[in-house]
Amino acid sequence: MTQDLTGYRVIAVHAHPDDESISTGGALAHLARRGADVLVVTCTLGEEGEVIGPAWQGLVADRADQLGGYRIHELQRALSILGARGTFLGGAGCYRDSGMAGSRASRNPRAFVNGGAEAVDKLAAIFDAERPHLVLTYGPDGGYGHPDHIHAHDVTHAAAEKSPVPRILWAVRLREELEAALPSSAPDGWRLPDPGELDAVDTTDTWVDLDDAAWNAKVEAMRAHATQISIAQGPHAYALSNGITQAVTRREHYQWGAGLPVGPGADLLSGIER
């Protein structure tokens, strides 16, 4: 592939290890293969996550509480597959996974949702140092409402006010494509989603068509997060610990968040001077 994006810098801001692969893995691999420098900023270690299968169940928060450290290993493997660099906001372990809304974890002083202005300043310092042309993160609802995702959105936009970036895009899933890509039956032990159960939107501003290399990189990066994601044989579908079947689509969709607008289907970096 031509290195036509050499000199461009892209930052993706994500809440937990695995979000980078599920939400933006195809775009990150695509941009990196075209020569862009890609950095993933992860805000927590994902300590409050559930674990798939018996092998690592003892690592969860209410047992050994070692899951976050293990997920660093999974993230490093995923980023190497995507061709991206990685860093943790404030350093590994600075902010803890806040858990779902109302959980006991959210009351921990180190919970990411309690980061406040300090977290904004830390991300603004990264923007100052890296000078990204493009920032990817979540929309205001965090995709599916996780407090850490919502806070990542808020912190990203607040940091961009302190250290302006040319464009912010929000990773989303297009409902029509997502539902069309679902298999007709669920793999053994999983179930198909109920109507409207999966987070998705009805319109988007632009998208990335994933060629085989980018799509395979996304799937393999997701597979690297084995405590969190199961990949169906194929692979054409995946499930988290809830066993709900989801599709790995051949497009990743984005909505405009701030900065320079982007046209329908336009390259994510279109109109931004190198």
The answer regarding whether domain 9-174+201-209+252-258 maps to CATH 3.40.50.10320 reads yes
3 state SS of 112 = helix
What order of strands is seen across the sheet that includes strand 251-259? 85-88, 37-42, 9-14, 134-137, 167-172, 251-259, 206-209
140 falls in which pLDDT band (50, 70, 90)? very high
Q: Is the pLDDT of residue 125 over 90?
A: yes
Instruction: Give, rounded to a whole angstrom, the gap between the first and last alpha carbons of the chain.
Output: 19
> Has residue 70 got a pLDDT over 70?
yes
33-68 pLDDT, tens digit each:
999 999 999 999 999 999 999 999 999 999 999 999
Arithmetic mean of pLDDT over the chain: 97
pLDDT tens-digit map of 81-120: 999 999 999 999 999 999 999 999 999 999 999 999 999 9
The reported pTM is: 0.98
DSSP 3-state of 5: coil
pLDDT surpassing 90 at residue 236: no
Q: pLDDT category, 180, cuts 50, 70, 90?
A: very high
CA distance readout (Å), 126 to 15, 89, 135, 156, 229: 16, 9, 12, 11, 29
d(CA 236, CA 168): 29
